[in-house]
Structure formats: structure tokens, C-alpha cells
Amino acid sequence: MDVAVFSTKGYDRQFLDEANVRAGTPHTLRYIEARLTAQSAMLARDAPAICAFVNDVLDRPVLQELAGGNTRMIALRSAGYNNVDLNAAAEFGMVVGRVPAYSPVSVAEHTVGLILALSRKIHKAYVRVREGNFALDGLLGFDLKGRTVGIVGTGKIGVAVAGILSGFGCRILAHDPAPPPELAMIGAEPCPLEQLFRESDIISLHCPLTAATYHLIDEAALEQMKKGVMLINTGRGALVDTRALIDGLKFGRVGYLGLDVYEEEGDLFFENHSDRILHDDVFARLLTFPNVLITGHQAFFTVEALSAIASTTMANLTAFEREGRPLHPVGP
């Protein structure tokens, strides 16, 4: 089957090609470097399926253009599907497949990496030592053992983070409308969001971005938190109101901030902008804080995860070709 694969980098090609051969029913993968937008959608013309990533735009106009070009399937190389208008896709007779759990541990370990880097100021120490500065002033850290960590969203990734941090001796508070049974085994305490905000030293976001979770962390939420709280977001950028965060950082309400995702990351992440002027003033302001550590949506980026994403994507495509629906469908 002819598949137009958007937002592809060298690493995507490598893992998708390998999975395509492994699957034994090779699809014709047409690699397109551009992000999927209203302008680039026409490049998929006559491809029955397209393959998209997190910052590809799959809103109504794009889906309409794709449907007009005879595309009937969207294969997402991601777990999250907040970038797809699922109602419009269904209306245009398109099915959508995703990769529900490629390697929750990859994201969980990166999350804990951000927490440790911030709690021990490793990002600052790295730069100092390279400059021959071995002074310790300003690098004072704190132990994770005995600290309370609030996990918002305890699906596959949230549970993995909870498991690792309970091993560090943290008390784990968990908020999820559908808490999984594994939480009890880890010793995590399910609780309302307000209690989690009030009692946590570290708060980590692992819920999907939906209408209900958009700007879940806003000014009102920050006011309920402990002064100096550590906030970690490896979920989706728009779970937090970035401007409220900046105020929180300015006035010390937020003591540490670790981000792998950003509300407006679509124009920045996954590309080298080092020789250009940064036009995003909000992002630029975030970079001025010494207690902020940002990675560019790389929590998923491990050999294990890319391999699993590629295999499941092939399985979704093959199931659609044979049975008219992906292996892991997602609907409105």
C-alpha cells in the first residue's frame, strides 16, 4: 500500500524501513520531510494512507484535503491524538490508528531524568565544570527520598514514573479519573487534584491533552501549590498555561520547572534553529530562568521506543489494508 509519511527524519526512515521489511508485507513508504499542514497535504494525493507525528496538523481543512486526495487512513506514530479532529475524520470516512504504548518506560525514565537534573542542578554543574569552575555555591540540592510526588494521570507512563519514584522512597499521590489497580501495589495514594496540588513537592503531568485538561495548570492551580514546587511536564504543552508559569517562576511559587513539551512547540521542536533569531518571546523568557530545564520533545526518543513505534505503525497499516481498520483504532 502507498503510504505518505510526513515529518520524517533520518531516524524515522531507518526504523520504519526496518519494520517494513520485518513485517514481510512491505508497504511503499513515501517519505516527506515537511510537516503535514494545509499546504503540504496535497503531497499525499492518491496515497490510501498517511503516517503522521505529534506536530502534524490534522484539523478539518487538512483532513478534507486528504480525503479529497483519496486518503482513507491516518497512521499516527504517537500515543497522543490531540492533534487530530476525530469527528471530522469520521465524517470524511477516514479511520485513525495510533501507537498506544510503545515504551512507557522511555518517557518515564526521561521524566525522572529531568527531576534528578533539577533537584541536583546537574544542568548547571555540567556547564560550570567545563569552564573550570568547581565552586559549589548555588548547586545545593535536595534528596528525593521522603518527598511527596503528585502524578496527574496514571496510565502507562504515569504508573511507570510512580514505580521508579517509589523505589527512590518518595510518597506518591496519584490523580486519575480511572486509577489502575497497579497503583495499590506501588503504594501510591489516589487523591483529588486539590490535595495533590496542596501536598506535593514535585508534580508531574501524564494525562492526555483534552478539552478538560487544557491549561490544567493555570494561575489558580499554581496558587494552590506549595511555594517552590517542582513542576514537570512531559505530557503535552497545552496542559499548562505557560504565561502563568512564567509569573510563578518570577515570584518563586514555582521553584523548578522541567519541560519536554511546550504549547507552541510546533514551530520550534525537531528542527535546528541555532542560526536563526528566536521569535517566540514566551519561550525566550522561559530560557532565562536558571531553574528551568527544557528538552525538545525527546522523552520518547530511545531505540526501544522508535523500534516499537515503527512495528506498531506497520501493524496498523497492514490491518487497514487487509480488514479496513487499524489494529489500534481511535475514534471520536
The span of 84-92, 169-177, 249-257, 262-270 binding ligand NAI (CB under 6 A) equals 169-177
Residues of span 287-316 touching ligand NAI by CB under 6 A: 297, 299-300
Residue 220 cell numbers, joined: 489558580
Contact 99, 106 (CB under 8 A): no
Is residue 79 near ligand NAI by the rule CB under 6 A?
A: yes
Residue 255 cell numbers, joined: 521553584
Residues of span 232-291 touching ligand NAI by CB under 6 A: 234-236, 260-261
Contact 83, 57 (CB under 8 A): yes
How does DSSP classify residue 268?
Answer: T
Is residue 48 near ligand NAI by the rule CB under 6 A?
A: no
**Distance, CA of 154 to CA of 104 (rounded, Å):** 11
Is 236 designated active site? yes
Is 123 designated active site? no
Residue 212 CB, shortest distance to ligand NAI, in Å, is: 5
Residue 159 CB, shortest distance to ligand NAI, in Å, is: 8
Residue 300 CB, shortest distance to ligand NAI, in Å, is: 3
Cβ within 8 Å of residue 108, ≥6 positions away: 157, 160, 161, 163, 164
Residue 313 CB, shortest distance to ligand NAI, in Å, is: 14
Residues of span 216-235 touching ligand NAI by CB under 6 A: 234-235
The span of 4-12, 20-28, 113-121, 154-162 binding ligand NAI (CB under 6 A) equals 154-162
Q: Closest residue to ligand NAI, Cβ-based? A: 155
CA proximity to 89, closest of 111, 66, 110: 66
Is 182 designated active site? no
Give the other-Cβ count within 10 Å of 25's Cβ: 11
Is residue 207 near ligand NAI by the rule CB under 6 A?
A: yes
| Length of the chain as a residue count | 332
How does DSSP classify residue 56?
Answer: -
Cβ within 8 Å of residue 35, ≥6 positions away: 6, 7, 55, 56, 57, 266
Residues of span 93-132 touching ligand NAI by CB under 6 A: 101, 104, 107
Q: In which element (H, E) is residue 229 found?
A: strand 229-233
Q: What residues line the site for ligand NAI (CB under 6 A)?
A: 79-80, 101, 104, 107, 152-158, 175-178, 206-209, 212-213, 234-236, 260-261, 297, 299-300
